[in-house]
Amino acid sequence: MSTPNTPPQKTGLQSVLHGGRTWATQSDEAKARFATKAFEASLQALRFAFAAGRTTTLHAICNILKIEPVGPDRHVSKEELNTLVLAGREALARRLSGSPAPTTQTDAPKSATTVVVETPSATPPTPKPDTSPAPAAVTSESTSADDQGDDAIPLPELLANKKVQPFGFQVRKTRELLRNITINKHRANLLLSQTGSGKTFMLGAMMAALKRMKFFDDYAGMYPMLYVTKASIVEQTTGVLQSCFGLDDLDVMVTNIEQLRSTIGRVFIQEETVIVQGQEHIVFKWRPRSLPRLIIWDESQILKNIDSTQSRIAQALNDINTVTHGPEADRVVQVFSSATPFMRLIETKCFAVATRAEIIEI
């Protein structure tokens, strides 16, 4: 009896880029495109480590990126961080082109991934949080958190809402989410915010604003919005969305990841059993008729383990296309929200691939 061929062990990078397809069968162009996505995601992890002041993690990520590391016991300035990011992109360009000579780059290219990051500082004791800039705020572009044009986006859901008293950073970040979704057409956004900083209110205001802006008017499915959070706060989240932002159960379904894996999840997801090399594997597929247009992964750190059921359910969104799911497949937007989204390259898979970003110009 012949022994079946054992697939080669994937490296950490290949595992991140696997995306349900065999790495060895992908073209060089596809490998380069997905490599750039994962590399840009790792650069975001580098910025997150800087924002959190985790110098040891910063040093470890530098080693993963194969760029000049910094001492784990030395403070890193913002200028040094930008230098590391540019060095990483240049190293990727050399590896993809096979050229040993360093490339000349005058301007940092726009990051392929879409990130909305909140300051990891505590809630200010006085109602004047926006009088000073957020020192540790990180974005995917080399611009400040107060991008020009955000003030033009009306936000009565926070500013004219008598039931909430928002801080300045909450208004800014909610507007940034809206701009990325409606104007920049980003398929995935990451809201990084400290525990207790009001992520639910920012997300609720964003959802209500999208409804007011008629983002879901031509939606023909069951639930235009799906909000996945922890089981312990499902009821609390539902109450906040209803009482503060007028979002009822016809607008959004609030559920937890355990329910998404069980009976309620069958409304959105179907399971199929496939045979791979003589072994049964369960494959998750999102149903076309109940595919939400906006999916929010609250506490998205639950998706870090790429082999877990919840992560595989989220990764299945990357398999939807216009052939199997119609034109709605190109309009699905995901928002990832967490205080600790990921710290290792392998943990960025769900977010990095969800951006569906094309290879950047290097």
Q: Which of 21-25, 122-126, 197-201, 242-246 has the lowest mean pLDDT?
A: 122-126
Give me the mean pLDDT over the 185-209 stretch.
92
The model's pTM: 0.59
| Closest residue by Cα to residue 66 from 93, 47, 103, 28 | 93
Q: Check pLDDT > 90 for residue 186.
A: yes
Question: Residues of 26-41 as b/e, b for ≥16 C-beta within 10 angstroms?
Answer: beeeebbbbbbbbbbb
CA distance 175 to 346: 30
Domain boundaries, the chain: 111-354
**Residues 32-81 pLDDT 10s:** 666 666 666 666 666 666 655 556 666 666 666 656 555 555 555 656 66
pLDDT at 332: 94
Show the tokens assigned to 230: 């922890």
| Burial degree of 215 (CB within 10 A; 0-12, 13-18, 19+) | buried
Q: Check pLDDT > 70 for residue 353.
A: yes
CA distance 348 to 295: 17
Per-residue confidence at 120, pLDDT binned at 50, 70, 90?
Answer: very low
Show the tokens assigned to 311: 């992560």
**Residues 243-282 pLDDT 10s:** 999 999 889 999 998 888 777 778 888 888 888 888 888 8
Averaged pLDDT of the chain? 74
Per-residue confidence at 172, pLDDT binned at 50, 70, 90?
Answer: very high
pLDDT at 144: 37
Residues 6+ apart with CB under 8 A from 218: none
Q: Which position has the token pair 């049964």? A: 280
**Residues 295-330 pLDDT 10s:** 999 988 888 888 888 889 999 998 899 998 999 999
Give me the mean pLDDT over the 72-96 stretch.
66
pLDDT at 242: 94
pLDDT at 149: 52
Give me the mean pLDDT over the 27-32 stretch.
66
**Residues 124-166 pLDDT 10s:** 444 444 433 333 233 333 333 344 456 678 899 999 998 988 9
Residue that wins the pLDDT comparison between 335 and 146: 335
% of residues, the chain, pLDDT over 90: 29
| Closest residue by Cα to residue 197 from 294, 129, 256, 243 | 129
| H helix count then E strand count, the chain | 12, 8
CA angle, 134 as apex, 132 and 135 as ends, to 5°?
105
CATH superfamily of 111-354: P-loop containing nucleotide triphosphate hydrolases (3.40.50.300)
Element spanning 270, H or E? strand 269-276
Contact 94, 104 (CB under 8 A): no
pLDDT at 342: 83
Q: Following DSSP, what letter does each residue of 14-29 receive, concatenated?
A: HHHH-TTS-GGGS-HH
Residues 6+ apart with CB under 8 A from 273: 280, 281, 282, 283
Residue that wins the pLDDT comparison between 266 and 179: 179
**DSSP H helical ranges for 129-285:** 156-159, 168-182, 199-212, 234-245, 257-260
Q: Check pLDDT > 70 for residue 226.
A: yes
